[in-house]
């Protein structure tokens, strides 16, 4: 009976140590890969969008519409073209 228990404990601990070592290896290699990609990989491309200039006539029309619809209580803070 003790031989079976010894074998079971041996297999249990050797399996757990093997899984732990493999997971440790995966974590270390993934961290190394992340560091290498961040160091030698291409820089991210930043896209700067230029907002088209809105003509003063359009701003006057929008202000009049907002003023009329809100009975003078509305204020235009920002205008963005969609």
- Tell me the average confidence (pLDDT) per consecutive run of 10 residues in the chain, 82 residues long: 92 98 98 94 77 79 90 84 72
Confidence at residue 25, expressed as pLDDT on a 0 to 100 scale: 98
Domain boundaries, the chain: 1-42, 51-82
Percentage of the residues of the chain whose pLDDT score is greater than 90: 50
Alpha helices in 1-82 (DSSP H): 2-40, 56-69
Confidence at residue 53, expressed as pLDDT on a 0 to 100 scale: 75
CB 56 within 8 A of CB 31: no
Tokens of 70: 């809100």
Confidence at residue 51, expressed as pLDDT on a 0 to 100 scale: 66
* Phi and psi at residue 53, to the nearest 5°: -75, 135
Q: Quick one: which H or E segment has residue 55?
A: none
């Amino acid at each position: 009976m003790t031989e079976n228990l010894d074998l079971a404990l041996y297999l249990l601990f050797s399996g757990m140590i093997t899984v732990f070592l493999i997971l440790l290896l995966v974590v270390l290699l993934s961290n190394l890969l992340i560091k290498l990609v961040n160091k030698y990989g291409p820089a991210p491309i930043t896209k700067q969008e230029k907002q088209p200039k809105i003509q003063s006539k359009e701003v006057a029309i929008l202000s009049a519409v907002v003023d009329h619809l809100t009975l003078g209580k509305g204020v235009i803070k920002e205008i963005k073209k969609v």
